[in-house]
Amino acid sequence: MLEVKDISVSYGVTPVLHGVSIDINANEMIAILGTNGAGKSTLVNTILGMVKSSDGTITFEGQRIDKLPPHEIIHRGIAQVPEARRIFPYLTVMDNLMVGAYNKNAWSIRKKNLERVFNLFPILKERKNQTGGTLSGGEQQMMVIGRGLMSNPKLLMVDEPSLGLAPKILEVVYDILSKFRDEKITTILSEQNAGQALSISDRGYIMENGRVILTDKSENLLDNDKVKKAYLGI
């Protein structure tokens, strides 16, 4: 579905990504893992067109997208759940969700997608008339995942979903993410929490200093001595 090939990105004169390549198949979940500053969020933002690469190509469903503006990439079926949530705090939960359905492919089926979101996150239905800023951190994370699903994406990129969440809430969020494969939601999961991400994904990519240093099936990475020592604390 998506092929990122040899992309390089700089912020000004500072190189951030160095010849990064990843790919993902339809109905697959991959994990992009690494510490803070490894380049995970930059990779996600480059796929969405928020950051432009100086080299390499990005192909989605057989068509190059690396020269397109973000709104065109979104219309083609890629959505992002951003790091640090970035909600609209003074809008209601319902309005926050509906923002995700603005594109031409999602608006006509917004009621169907809203029902799916409420089935996944019943607490959002209960609090649909509350303003987003009054929700807990975990509820806000559920809301931004729901907002991403409202765009009816072919590919959903979830950036650092565990950031700032208490362990109990993190379990709830990851339980929902684990169901994405059953619902055939193709997902890129960018995450520092390697154990959680590898436990629900099909394959993983380990990034360090803007490079992919290791890739394998998730079950193999969980059993890899280097990964255990560096990322799992074992």
Q: What is the pLDDT of residues 1-38, one digit of tens each?
A: 999 999 999 998 899 999 999 999 999 999 999 988 89
pLDDT > 90? residue 172 = no
> Taking residues 78-82, what's their average pLDDT?
90
pTM of the predicted model as reported, rounded to 2 decimal places: 0.91
The phi and psi torsions of 184 (rounded to 5 degrees) equal 60, 40
Angle, alpha carbons 133-137-139 (nearest 5°): 80
> Rounded to whole angstroms, how far apart are CA atoms 174 and 179?
9
Distances (CA, A) of 220 to 203, 205, 227: 9, 12, 10
- Which domains are assigned to the chain? 1-76+187-234 (3.40.50.300)
pLDDT > 80? residue 124 = yes
pLDDT > 80? residue 104 = no
Closest to 100 in 3D by CA, of 72, 138, 74: 74
Residue 164: its pLDDT value, please?
Answer: 76
Contact residues for 51 (Cβ-Cβ < 8 A; gap 6+)? 9, 42, 45
pLDDT in tens, 182-205: 778 899 999 988 999 999 999 999
Residue 83: its pLDDT value, please?
Answer: 77
Out of 39-43, 84-88, 109-113, pick the least confident.
Answer: 84-88
Closest to 220 in 3D by CA, of 206, 207, 208, 209: 206
| Confidence class for position 234, pLDDT limits 50, 70, 90 | low
Residue 212: its pLDDT value, please?
Answer: 96
> Taking residues 158-162, what's their average pLDDT?
87
> Taking residues 154-161, what's their average pLDDT?
92
Are 151 and 100 in contact by the 8 Å Cβ rule? The answer is: yes
| Confidence class for position 65, pLDDT limits 50, 70, 90 | very high
> Rounded to whole angstroms, how far apart are CA atoms 13 and 6?
19
